[in-house]
Structure 1
Amino acid sequence: MAVEATFEIEITPVDGVLPTTSRFDFAKVWQGAAQGVSKGVMVSAGDPASGTAGYVAMEVFEGTLDGRRGTVAFQQFGSMRGGGQDLRYEIVPGSGSDQLEDVTGTLHLEIDGEGVHHITFELG
């Protein structure tokens, strides 16, 4: 089942973990089929300005997803090379609580020309 949502994100840089890496804490406010907030940590490496980089992120969402209330974690794995991007974004198995205890699935992210982050959840 596919459901759609958008989010606004606030990113806070933190000192890099290792040379050529960056760390960011972030907070999101979700609207649409996902209503709530999430907080997470992202670590990146490479040279995003040249189009070659990668990142990993973990975040915990609290609110309602497709009408079910609880918390659940999301994980992201992204890379950039040769002008292209590859992103894997999914619900962490076993991370849900309350009505989201058994939720599974993937997330598809698109950022429009105005910078709005659109998410489609493919729920299992």
Structure 2
Amino acid sequence: MRTEGTFTVESFTPAELSPAPEVVVTSAPVGVAVMLKQYTGGVSGRSTTIFTAAYDQARGAGTYVAMESFDGALDGAAGTFNFVHSATTEGGGRTHEHFAVVPGSGTAELAGIRGGGGLAVEDDGTHRVWFDYQLG
């Protein structure tokens, strides 16, 4: 099944990162943040996201990895699950994209969810998400 929706980022809060050993310094600094997103459409609900990226602002190039914990519904089937996504940018567009539902993470009507999907940002700034998934 495929379902689609849009989302807005309600908050993006950088998190202090002080691991041991320290993160190696490169020309693309590594950062971590926690995000709250709201979804509407066939994908409805909210998610909390742990977001990490290596990004060079001067060049507009970098890669992110995000783990989302979603609470809501896909086409009316309610529950929670996790999904992961990542992408690279080199000043425009997205490449090397990855998007997957975490196996075994679904609850309630979303128990047994598996599959993938994707994200896109339109020219007007609209953020779209879609899931290609199976239940059970």
Check conservation: 1:34, 1:65, Cα contact below 8 A: yes
Q: 1:52 Cα deviation (Å)?
A: 3.0
Matches within 5 A, 1:7-86: 7-9=7-9, 10-16=11-17, 18=23, 19=25, 20-81=29-90, 83=92, 85-86=94-95
Which ranges of structure 1 fall in alignment gaps of 5 or more residues? Answer: none
Secondary structure of 1:123 counterpart: strand
Are the counterparts in 2 of residues 3 and 122 from structure 1 also a CA contact under 8 Å?
Answer: yes
The structural deviation recorded for 1:67 is: 1.4
Identity of aligned residues (%): 33
Contact residue 48 and residue 80 of structure 1 kept, 8 A: no
Larger deviation, residues 30-39 vs 81-90: 81-90
**Structure 1 outlier segments of 4+, above 6 Å:** none
CA RMSD, 1 decimal: 1.8
Q: Distance in 1 between matches of 2:17 and 2:122?
A: 29
TM-score (norm 2): 0.81
Gaps of 5+ in 2: none
Structure 2 Cα separation of the partners of residues 82 and 111 of structure 1: 14
Larger radius of gyration: 2
Which residue identity does 2:132 align to in structure 1? Answer: E
Deviation at 1:106, TM superposition (A): 1.3
Per residue, is there more strand in 1 or in 2? 1
Deviations 1:9-67 (A, max 9, x none): 12112234534211111001110011111001111114144143112111100011121
Change beyond 3 A, Cα 1:8–1:46: closer
Q: Structure 1 CA distance, aligned partners of 2:91 and 2:47?
A: 31
TM-score normalised over the length of structure 1: 0.87
- Distance in 1 (alpha carbons) for counterparts of 2:86 and 2:66: 7
